[in-house]
Structure 1
Amino acid sequence: MGAEVDLVVPVKALERAKSRLVGARVDRPALALAFALDTVAAARPVARRVLVVTSDPAVARGLRALGVESAAGPEGLNEALRFGFSVLRERDPGSVVGALQADLPALRTAELALAVAAARGRAFCPDRQGTGTTLLLSEPGGPLEPAFGTGSAAAHAASGATALVGPWPSLRHDVDTAADLDLAAELGLGPRTAAVLSPVC
């Protein structure tokens, strides 16, 4: 993809994040923050700009330590993505803007770069199960049209986006449950996530 790529990453309030991990015997807010910071750290080398949309001051503090911009926006996932998209699109009318989920603690920079390079026009990466979406990319200068939520892969395909399926398992492996987390650990967790889990590993 020839145009510059900017990414928006939505992060919900940590107290409400990752509720399905409640049985994993971990500090859920700390783990959700670690997920987000590891995801953003892995994505930074791929994107010209990374904008995190969050209302949580703890997330904003963590991002400042990484040198990553955050902006307060709406809490709903698609609403936050539309807000972040509008901010990034205003800065560069011709860029590719991508929506990246914040729960990819095993994400590898090289795999994200491969997926972005493979995109031709508006595209999305389905999750491991093939039903959700971990990454959505606009065309250069085009709309994002996020439809995240249940069945988002089918919704994005129906809206004309092309599926990106290739050698990037870490990009497809979002974490919602304890079983997901175990599988992500097999791929290799980011350092912040590993540090949060180390007392119980």
Structure 2
Amino acid sequence: MKDLAAAKSRLELPAEAAPAKAALVLAMLADTIAAARRARRVDGVTVVTPDVIVARQARVCGASVLLEPRSQSLNDSLAWALSARADDSPAAVLLADLPCLQHWELDRALREAGSQPVVCSDRDGAGTVFLSFGSQHGPTTHFGADSFVRHVEAGFCPLRGAMPGLRHDVDTYSSLLAARMLGMGPATSRWFEARLPWCRHSHPIRSTGPVRLSS
């Protein structure tokens, strides 16, 4: 995960909410970690970041942290993190901006992946939100423009099925509003209602359970 100063550069919030963008990033991280930790097929969650504030939030939410010595590209960050693993146990990559993620979606993705390398596209079909490396695939990633196609070309099998929460990453304000209609986790829901009270009664919010947040 990027440092907070550089995170979500394309997400332009209304003026009244803009100063709290960093808090939104941390809230989405908290909901993503909470859902991942509830998945039965997940043994542990590790957040890779150069940001000490992100690292502190991740630990509060129950994740382990690999603190990068410097900020670098997502592919370089993941290559560094995967090379630092203590063993060759199966690994997967999950984006940190999935506030609608349900734990059963992640369990389904991991079950369908099995020992095969698998990629899950975002809702638009161009980006990548999830990778499972399987037992025979090298830990190489191809994030960036058209990353889904690039991962498929590299040998990852496309993950089938709707799984709307897994596929719904938040990069723009419109995708944030769409996430609220889909049903966000509790941390992002609290951020949304506190900063955008005019939307408080427009759409119901589905809560996925409590999560601890740092003050």
What is the TM-score normalised by the length of structure 1? 0.88
Partner of 1:181: 176
Q: How far, CA to CA, are the matches of 1:37 and 1:197 in structure 2?
A: 14
1:191 Cα deviation from its structure 2 partner: 1.0
- 1:31 maps to 2:31: no
* Distance in structure 1 (CA, Å) of the matches to 2:83 and 2:164: 29
Length, aligned pairs only: 188
Q: Report percent identity of matched pairs.
A: 39
- In structure 1, what is the equivalent of residue 97 of structure 2? 103
Q: Which runs of 5+ in 1 are unaligned?
A: 1-10
Aligned equivalent of 2:161 = 166
Look up the match of 2:147.
Answer: 152
Tell me the C-alpha RMSD between the 2 structures: 1.4
Partners of 2:192 and 2:38 in 1: CA distance: 25
Query: Quick one: distance in 2 between partners of 1:145 and 1:115?
Result: 19
What is the alpha-carbon distance in structure 2 between the residues aligned to residue 193 and residue 24 of structure 1?
Answer: 16
* Structure 2 gap ranges (5+): 200-215
Q: Residue 53 of structure 1 aligns to which amino acid in structure 2?
A: V
Is 1:118 matched with 2:119? no
C-alpha distance in structure 1 between counterparts of 2:155 and 2:109, whole Å? 18
- For residues 44-79 of structure 1, the C-alpha deviation after alignment (integer angstroms, 9 at most, x for no partner) is 133112111111111111122122111112431111
Q: For the residues of structure 1 that align with 2:14 and 2:6, how far apart are their CA atoms?
A: 15
Normalised by the length of structure 2, the TM-score is 0.83
Check 1:171–1:19 CA distance in 2 against 1; reply closer, same or farther (3 A cut).
same
Deviation at 1:92, TM superposition (A): 2.5
**Structure holding more strand per residue:** 1
| Moved >4 Å (runs of 4+) | none
Name 1:194's counterpart in structure 2. 189
- Check conservation: 1:137, 1:144, Cα contact below 8 A: no
Task: Say whether the 8 Å CA contact 2:29–2:58 is kept in structure 1.
Answer: no
CA offsets 1:56-110 (integer angstroms, 9 cap, x no match): 111111122122111112431111111221223xx222x2211111110111101
Asked whether the 8 Å contact 1:96–1:142 carries over to 2, the reply is: no
Between structures 1 and 2, the one with greater helix share: 1
- 1:169-197 per-position Cα deviation (integer Å, ceiling 9, x unaligned): 10001010011111111111111111111
How big is the shift at 1:127? 0.6
Is 1:15 paired with 2:5? Answer: yes
Distance 1:158 1:141 in 2: 16
